[in-house]
Amino acid sequence: MDKTAAKEQLTAAATAHGEPAALVARRQAAFDHFAASRMPKMARFNFSDWDLFAKQPALTFTESTATPDLPEIKEEAIRLVQVGQTTVDVHLPKTWADQGVKLMDLFAALDQFPDLVADQLMAIVKPDENKLTAYHLAYLNSGVFLYVPKGVQVDQPVEVDLVQDSTVADREFNAHLLIVTEPGSSVSVLQHTTTLGTAANRASLMVEIDARRGSHVNFSSLDELGDQTLTYFKRRANIGRDAKVEWAVGLMNGGDTVGDMDSELTGEGGEGDSKLIAVTTGDQHVGINNRVTHHGQHTTGNINQRGVLLGKSHLVFNGIGEIIHGAHDANAEQQNRVLMMSPDCRGDANPILLIDENDVIAGHAASVGPVNPVQMNYLMSRGIPRPVAEHMVIRGFLSSVIAAIPAKRVREELIAILERKLTDGNL
């Protein structure tokens, strides 16, 4: 990489994009860190040779002309759709806007509400954590901002559709969803990530949630990026005093994916519930760290990860429950389970407990293996053919996470994708 040229390009592109000087400076600092630091590591999963950034990276903003089929929405629905770097639809009913709820393009938000956004962007995930977080801020080219003011209970799910534009090659997709929920508010977010087109491209996707005192965020994500997309994602919530964040992630990406789920229980009495399912097919490689860190006293953390492996795929689940010294009466539970549906796949489920306090409760369960033959035999003894029985057992195995997604439509969509993968996935 020609560092001087890259930094000049970055500065010029950010300035031309009309960004405030402070952000340009943060991007430059992030670039320096990116250029100097090493790739992050993950237990039992090596992705050091993945091309998660270009040899000569460039910050680009391209107007997307591709248009996805947008489903009709009801008058009361809340939705934002982005294709590549272009926000194509924002639907926020007046009743919510009047109460101060904001749902908008991240750069527009930086422009219009700098006080709410500027200091908050990458304050929870720090750019200098590693090479990839630094890269993300330096080359960030799309994003969404969701803000829920104090005490507002948003009773409609907020749908965020992020469509990667891979109708042409060399389109970077560095997208950031920033969510801030003020004290006592609540919101449920349905993120859907998809890919339009079949060109081979990268994706660097982040979600930051700042769940302030007593707020409640239910975040589900249906990730359905294309077979040709190489993905790095990081999703982290800062969970304040008596706040609660529930994650339900259906990781159905077609391409290689490495990602982190983090719940930081910083306030007393906070609660984090992190559920994730993944189905891997073909020769896909997927590695996930799902971490809950207990800083505050009386905090509750729960991790439940379930994976199904087909073909020659490789899936690693690391569940990390960490209790920091001083987090008295913390409760950290986790389970990581994978089902191996073919003799050629490789799966790993690693519970990792890091406990530095005495009066805490911690538990873990892990399993790696084929579908339960006793269950299979029972279903088949009622005449159900093997493939149908297998799908039933697998759906049952994943059900605790699927059931946690609040929208029926999304659950059904997830099940449809699952069925498709189970049918074609051994190829």
Residues of this chain that interact with other proteins (CB under 8 A) are: 372-375, 377-386, 388-389, 392-393, 395-400
Min separation Cβ 318 and other proteins, Å: 24
Instruction: From 164, 6, 167, 14, select the one nearest 85 (Cα to Cα).
Output: 164
One-letter amino acid of 151: G
In the complex with other proteins, the residue whose CB is nearer, 60 or 400, is: 400
Min separation Cβ 387 and other proteins, Å: 10
Per the CB < 8 A criterion, the answer to whether 235 and 264 are in contact is no
CA trace torsion 148, 150, 151, 154 (10° rounding): -10
Instruction: From 36, 34, 39, 37, select the one nearest 50 (Cα to Cα).
Output: 39
Min separation Cβ 306 and other proteins, Å: 10
* CB half-sphere exposure, 337, CA atoms < 13 A: 20
d(CA 284, CA 316): 11
In the complex with other proteins, the residue whose CB is nearer, 151 or 396, is: 396
- Listed in sequence order, the DSSP H helices in 213-258 are none
Min separation Cβ 337 and other proteins, Å: 11
Min separation Cβ 388 and other proteins, Å: 6
Give buried/exposed letters for 194-208 (b at 16+ CB in 10 A, else e). Answer: bbbbebebbbbbbbb
d(CA 65, CA 84): 9
In the complex with other proteins, the residue whose CB is nearer, 214 or 307, is: 307
CA distances from 78 to 81, 89, 102, 158 (A): 10, 10, 11, 5
Min separation Cβ 339 and other proteins, Å: 12
Min separation Cβ 375 and other proteins, Å: 5
In the complex with other proteins, the residue whose CB is nearer, 29 or 380, is: 380
Min separation Cβ 75 and other proteins, Å: 31
- Residues linked to residue 261 through DSSP beta bridges, in sequence order: 235, 290
Min separation Cβ 310 and other proteins, Å: 19
State how far Cα 46 lies from the chain centre: 20
Min separation Cβ 396 and other proteins, Å: 3
d(CA 279, CA 269): 33
- Listed in sequence order, the DSSP H helices in 259-315 are none
* Site of tokens 């209790």: 323
d(CA 261, CA 302): 12
d(CA 148, CA 159): 14
Which H/E stretch holds residue 219? strand 216-224
Q: What are the residues whose beta carbons fall under 8 Å from the beta carbon of 274, sequence distance 6 or more?
A: 247, 261, 263, 290, 292, 301, 302, 303, 304
Q: What angle do CA 339, 193, 252 make, to 5 degrees?
A: 15
